[in-house]
Amino acid sequence: MKNHKRIVMLMICAAIIAVIASPHFPATAADKEKKKKDRALERTRETVKMLDNVYKTAVVLITTHYVNDDDDLPAGTAAIALFEAVGKSGTHKARLLDASGEPLEEKNAAKDEFEKAAVKQLKAGESWHEEVIERDGKRYLRAATPIPVVMEKCVMCHDNYKGLKKNEAIGAISYTIQIK
């Protein structure tokens, strides 16, 4: 009887240890591969956040220091030129998008399904919209972040930003970058 009890106790202990330890031992190679891929996705998100910070800081600094009347080269135009040049280098693509519904240039309106969904989410107050896509066997992160009316000066050329709430998204930057 005593022995019987001991065996049951041992079995219970073994079961508890197995449950506690199981997350630490990925069961299959596929699990391991998935974890690795997710780490790659996480790193790619961090890269986009870093780029986003650099681009937006540049736009605000250029507007602050160089744009004084509506004849000056707008930071938006400079950003588009920068995105085009960097896009050619092949590391990532970025696009300046309108979210106000009245872009100064029609080409800056949201085009594909991803961009349209992103603008909708960002206008509703989200700070990030993403989708992972596959093209020619490669994985890409598409992500979009909002642009609020950061400064009074923006209204100088964009009449339609007048009267908007300070944090409301009037634009977005949309990124496409390979997940490696």
Chain residues in the site for ligand HEC (CB under 6 A): 59, 63, 67, 70, 72, 74-77, 80, 96, 98, 103-105, 108, 147, 149-151, 153-154, 156-158, 170-171
Choice between 71 and 134, CB closer to ligand HEC: 71
Least Cα distance to 76 among 143, 147, 142, 169 occurs for 147
Residue nearer to ligand HEC on the CB measure, 140 or 148: 148
Instruction: Let me know: does 169 contact 122? Beta carbons within 8 Å.
Output: yes
**Quick one: 51 or 147, whose CB is closer to ligand HEC?**
147
Residue with smaller CB distance to ligand HEC, 118 or 170: 170
Let me know: does 88 contact 95? Beta carbons within 8 Å.
Answer: no
Q: How far is the CB of 45 from ligand HEC (least distance, A)?
A: 22
- Whole-number Å distance between alpha carbons of 68 and 88: 31
The residue sitting closest to ligand HEC, measured at its beta carbon, is 171
Tokens 């079995």 locate to 11
Q: Is the Cβ–Cβ distance between 79 and 58 less than 8 Å?
A: yes
- The CB-of-61 to ligand HEC minimum distance in angstroms stands at 10
